[in-house]
Structure 1
Amino acid sequence: MPIPDPVHYPPFNITRAGHVRVTVRDLDAARDFYTSVYGLIVSDEADGALYLRGVEEVCHHSLVLTAAGDGPLCERIGLRVQTEEELDKAHDWFCGEGLGPAWVEQPWQGRTLHVTDPCGVPLELCASMTAVPRLGSAVDRHRGGVALRFDHFQILVPDAQAACDFYTRLGFRVSDYVETPDGALVAAFMYRKDIPWDLVFFAAKGPRMHHFAYITPNAVDMFRACDIAGIRGYGEAVERGPGRHSMGHVQYVYFRDPDGHRSELVLDAPHHMTDLENEPVQWTPASIGEKAWGLPAQRAWFLEASRFPGVEPVETSVARGALTLEDYLSARTVVA
């Protein structure tokens, strides 16, 4: 059994996945994509960076786009902690682990802590942001997929077991996991808020950021996002879906932005994870597609991801055994 026992009283209190920082080559093109297709709201623009949020979000930003000429990167993934006191606890705990945390200044955020986890993923933790108006009822400002709020990350790491073990120590629990027949951990879906995912780790060449996700209200908004992507010249950016995942039984669609960063619009989880009776659900690589619909993902969905600055990805030794769209199509028997 590769899943460690949950830690109910972690050293500090992380509450959720909060925000992401990525670099882009063309800030105007990225703005057009995320505001027209996703429907994100521009909170501010300053010093070559654009700050966006979902229409339900009261915090200043959940996506930060920074103009950079050295290629698209995922600079940091952001996690929220409960209070300033918890942030101090985080600093002291990371120091005790020898991870070298550092205090930094970030616009529209309270005190902010930078640290790199043992897997090589650069993290940014904060307890507060500038408050802005929630626009859920301002329907005249809703566009595209009407992205409501930031939901989760999927991170590729060479050792999913190590990632699972580390984040379990920080209070994350596992909702679902994928295990090979010989007991190797392929993936762990981990959460702190009351739905099944905040951080998803898959064994693959990494560390790299596979995608980040926003909640969309319903399937109509999801399809509207696809329609607008086509109208505005982003038709090929619809990389996978719309379809339905087996894990979580949610509908989804994946996009690639103009710089190649992958993001997902997903319907809200159909079940909550508040109670301790929710035990981790085991899957095998062969069973991931069960009770789902939609064609398999193309090969690029498995192999391509956003790199972290200054971090050289390492190959994994865990065989994922996923069926790609290319393999699926080549194996089909076509009857004339």
Structure 2
Amino acid sequence: MLPAVNHRPPFNITRASHIVLNVADVAKSRDFYVDIVGLVVTEQTADTCYLRGLSEACHHSLVLVQADSNAPICKRIGFRVFLEEDLDLAYQFFKEEGLPAEWAEVAHQGRTLHVSDPFGTKIELCAQMETRPRLYLERNLFKGAHAQRIDHFQIFSPNTYESCAFYSRLGFRNSEYLAHGERLLGAFMYRKGTCLDLAIVENDGPCMHHFAYIVPESHDIFTACDLAGIYGHAHEVERGPGRHGPGGMLFVYLRDPDGHRVELCDGHYQTIDIEIEPVRWDAASLSTSVRWGLPAEHRWYFEASRFEGAELIETANKPRPTTLETYIQNRLAKS
């Protein structure tokens, strides 16, 4: 069912690091991520805002870039590699695979490599970043949901198995996976020793479905919901609060002013030991994505941020989840 994992990959990715988003109004988006999510501003220029979580020492985990766009566009998702030499090994790997790879000058980061996976997901790799003091004890600075650190990304791929196979070659392991019969529909993959750095779900792609921050206390998830209502984003509390099947975390999903989706969750288990087998989830079960509560709206399953400059590829098998809309229709039909 799952592709083989290369435990000695050609270069060493260590974790999900940062994400770069195009936004229509940097100030408006900054306020959302500060007042509701609880990030802190590290630095801001006329057209770019750099933010990080309270426990993060690196300069940024979220970059907001002013752009003219009527739709949510993700420029890149970022991963860290362990050593500078890993960047050279990554460049060689992507070139040998016939995939895009070019060096880029990126503010506040060391040498940065821009690459794309086989379906066009835009990625940047770096080994170093400027640092700042961690702020997790500076409670006078706390706002919003007190987001601590970036945790993972979820992307859409037109072929989950092939995407999973590619990232397995790069040393990503599966903590859990979503299947229907013998068909792989979702892969929950990691590098840093918790259950998730990159989730891959089959749908038209490549797209960025969401990125996630860890919050320190479960009640911070409800605080985010309250603040979303106070600041005029009540209808953008898109899914939850709830508890996942995969990972078992408490969560909520919010849409920012541009429609980018951010998840807040309360952390998950360790996955370091080599003998631990991935957990299989049945796609036909409602409890797969949530342990209790109602399924998500149609838009949660199908709407996502396009990657800048990437061609959208339609999947051969459209997902057919039980959405909130169909769930209600089915219940009404039975009543």
With the shorter chain as reference, the TM-score category is: over 0.9
Using the TM superposition, name which of 315-324 and 31-40 deviates more. 315-324
8 Å CA contact retained: 1:285, 1:321: no
Identify if the C-alpha distance between structure 1 residues 288 and 88 changes in structure 2 by more than 3 Å, giving closer, same or farther: farther
State the Cα distance separating 1:294 from its structure 2 match. 2.1
Any runs of at least 4 consecutive aligned residues in structure 1 with deviations exceeding 3 A, and if so which?
333-336
3-state SS of 1:93 partner: helix
| CA distance in 2 between partners of 1:101 and 1:136 (Å) | 36
* Percent identity of paired positions between Structure 1 and Structure 2: 50
| CA distance in 1 between partners of 2:271 and 2:301 (Å) | 28
Among candidates 281, 284, 309, match of residue 282 of structure 2 = 284
Match of 2:149 in 1: 149
Match of 1:14 in 2: 13
3-state SS of 2:156 partner: strand
- Which amino acid is the alignment partner of residue 190 of structure 1? M
State the Cα distance separating 1:150 from its structure 2 match. 0.3
Using the TM superposition, name which of 217-226 and 311-320 deviates more. 311-320
Match of 1:195 in 2: 194
Mapping of 1:317-336 within 5 angstroms? 317-333=316-332
Aligned residues: 333
Mapping of 1:93-242 within 5 angstroms? 93-181=93-181, 183-242=182-241
Q: Which runs of 5+ in 1 are unaligned?
A: none
3-state SS of 2:37 partner: coil
Question: 1:202-248 CA deviation, whole Å, 9 max, x = no partner?
Answer: 00011110000000112111111111111111111100000011111
Match of 1:253 in 2: 252
Match of 2:298 in 1: 299
8 Å CA contact retained: 1:216, 1:222: yes
Aligned CA-pair RMSD: 1.5
* TM-score relative to the length of structure 2: 0.96
| CA distance in 2 between partners of 1:171 and 1:47 (Å) | 39
8 Å CA contact retained: 2:35, 2:143: yes
3-state SS of 2:284 partner: helix
| CA distance in 2 between partners of 1:209 and 1:288 (Å) | 23
8 Å CA contact retained: 2:175, 2:196: yes
Question: 1:250-279 CA deviation, whole Å, 9 max, x = no partner?
Answer: 10000000000001001110x210101211
3-state SS of 2:164 partner: helix
3-state SS of 1:37 partner: helix
Q: Which runs of 5+ in 2 are unaligned?
A: none
8 Å CA contact retained: 1:184, 1:318: no
3-state SS of 1:7 partner: coil
| CA distance in 2 between partners of 1:98 and 1:320 (Å) | 30
3-state SS of 2:80 partner: strand
Identify if the C-alpha distance between structure 1 residues 109 and 47 changes in structure 2 by more than 3 Å, giving closer, same or farther: farther
8 Å CA contact retained: 2:286, 2:295: no
State the Cα distance separating 1:311 from its structure 2 match. 1.7
| CA distance in 2 between partners of 1:294 and 1:262 (Å) | 20
State the Cα distance separating 1:316 from its structure 2 match. 1.2
Using the TM superposition, name which of 306-315 and 284-293 deviates more. 284-293
State the Cα distance separating 1:319 from its structure 2 match. 4.6
State the Cα distance separating 1:100 from its structure 2 match. 3.2
| CA distance in 1 between partners of 2:113 and 2:311 (Å) | 23
1:56 aligns with 2:67: no
| CA distance in 1 between partners of 2:137 and 2:328 (Å) | 44
